[in-house]
Structure 1
Amino acid sequence: MFYAQSPKKTGLPREVVKWLQGLDLSMYPKNVRRDFSSGYLVAEIFSRYYPQDFSVHSYDKGTSLSAKQRNWSQIERSLQRQNLHLMKEVIDGAIHCKPGAAELLVQEVYTVLTNRRIRDVQGPEWDFTDQEYQELLPTLARSTASKAIKNNLRITELMAEPDINTNQRKAEVILHRHLEHKAVERVLNPGKSPKGDIELTVWENIGCS
């Protein structure tokens, strides 16, 4: 899933950082992707604005998939009572620690609660993959097709949605995107021979049986 209006770089805008610092949270998020994944801090943020609907004592600080799912399910129910909404795809990306998802989630929470637009939120579409990181690497150090799928289709996604056809479609999208980038590399660097990708089936790439 792609999103326009997303930050150019991983990280939070200055005004969002200052806002978080002023909320006196039980812990300050040092690793945005990890610390917002469970939903606990998100619930704590909303509790500062809606204390009757978000009781932090009813949320789990655990990091297991089941704890995350319980927390986020409770958050979504509480949001509905306030007629508020967060993008489901962004929540899912945050749960599974996808690159950029937690940052976009926090900015969305900021906008929902403050009614302020973030000035520097602009730029390319966001796809919650490691493609931006891969582009920083030398050509020969970049992921093969197999590694690209393993990097971008998390084990927690397979656990949360065990349907074989659904996960095969996700893997095929990742594989198609990877091969497109490889084709572009060959055009831009015709004299170089990129690390060869082993031709595997989608399920062999995922590592499923």
Structure 2
Amino acid sequence: MLQPLKEEELNEIYTWVDQIPLSRPKKNIARDFADGILMAEIMHYFLPKLVDMHNYSQASSVKQKKYNWDTLNTKVFKRIGFTLSKDQVDSVISCQSEAIERVLKFVQAKLEYYLENNTNSAEKQPQQTDSQTAPPPLLANEWQKDQQIFELRETIEVLEQKLHRMDELMKQKDAKILRYQQLLQQNGLL
């Protein structure tokens, strides 16, 4: 179980998001970000050349929401050095408590790291107006910890799937052995 985010962390995330001009006002941040559109807008704000907004459409169906997030993962996040896990995406889509805040914190840290280390100066600067300031920096070890947690969860998920598959194969093997034993008994060979 993840520790709840501190109020200070939440305020930093909300302040950062409030500095970015979004197409719709935030009413309930979990629901507002569930379809991935606002996340695409944030990425477009900082990296306009990497994000084609026409690839994303407002969605109420889980399938379309997943499509939007998968598109972000493959066309944007991956190109700047990270992806969100299936669990992270599913928790945001299903509006789980603090899921979007955790993802925003993680994305903000990754984005800041990318912008600081990217040599293409045209992509480095977000489109800011005079009333906007640069986002507050996150400590590098915080996002590294978050990244490790997400990677470990992903590894656990893969291992659980493998374990489930091995259990299925063992059941199939046991069923075959039982059938062969019955055949041997029926033919008097056992």
TM-score class normalised by the smaller sequence: 0.5 to 0.7
Q: Which residue does 1:38 correspond to in 2?
A: 35
**Higher deviation after alignment, 76-85 or 106-115:** 106-115
- Tell me how far 1:8 sits from its aligned partner: 4.0
**Is 1:60 paired with 2:28?**
no
2:26 and 2:9 mapped to 1: Cα distance? 11
1:21 and 1:100 mapped to 2: Cα distance? 17
- Tell me how far 1:3 sits from its aligned partner: 3.4
Q: 1:29 to 1:109 in 2, by over 3 A?
A: farther
Structure 2, unaligned runs of 5 or more: 114-136, 143-163, 165-190
CA deviation string 1:48-69 (max 9, x = no partner)? 1221221112201112111101
| Contact 1:21–1:28 (Cα < 8 Å) also in 2 | no
2:16 and 2:97 mapped to 1: Cα distance? 22
Amino acid at match of 1:35: D
1:64 and 1:94 mapped to 2: Cα distance? 13
Q: 1:44 to 1:113 in 2, by over 3 A?
A: same
Q: Among residues 24, 28, 31, which one is paired with 2:25 in the alignment?
A: 28
Question: What fraction of aligned residue pairs are identical, expressed as a percent?
Answer: 27
| Contact 2:13–2:101 (Cα < 8 Å) also in 1 | no
1:12 and 1:62 mapped to 2: Cα distance? 29
Q: 1:12 to 1:94 in 2, by over 3 A?
A: farther
Listed as ranges, the matches of 1:1-209 within 5 Å are: 2-3=1-2, 6-8=4-6, 13-78=10-75, 79-115=77-113, 116-117=137-138
Q: Which secondary structure does the structure 2 equivalent of 1:13 belong to?
A: helix
- Tell me how far 1:112 sits from its aligned partner: 1.9
- Tell me how far 1:74 sits from its aligned partner: 0.3
Q: 1:47 to 1:66 in 2, by over 3 A?
A: same
1:72 and 1:26 mapped to 2: Cα distance? 18
Q: Tell me how large the CA RMSD over aligned residues is.
A: 2.9
Give me the TM-score of the superposition, normalised by structure 1. Answer: 0.50
2:9 and 2:35 mapped to 1: Cα distance? 18
- Tell me how far 1:12 sits from its aligned partner: 6.4
- Tell me how far 1:87 sits from its aligned partner: 4.0
Structure 1, unaligned runs of 5 or more: 122-164, 166-209
Q: Which residue does 1:135 correspond to in 2?
A: none
Count of aligned residue pairs for this structure pair: 120
Q: Which secondary structure does the structure 1 equivalent of 2:89 belong to?
A: helix
Q: 1:12 to 1:26 in 2, by over 3 A?
A: farther
| Contact 1:38–1:71 (Cα < 8 Å) also in 2 | yes
Structure 1 residue ranges (4+ consecutive) displaced by more than 6 angstroms after TM superposition: none
Give me the TM-score of the superposition, normalised by structure 2. Answer: 0.54
Q: Which has the larger radius of gyration?
A: 2
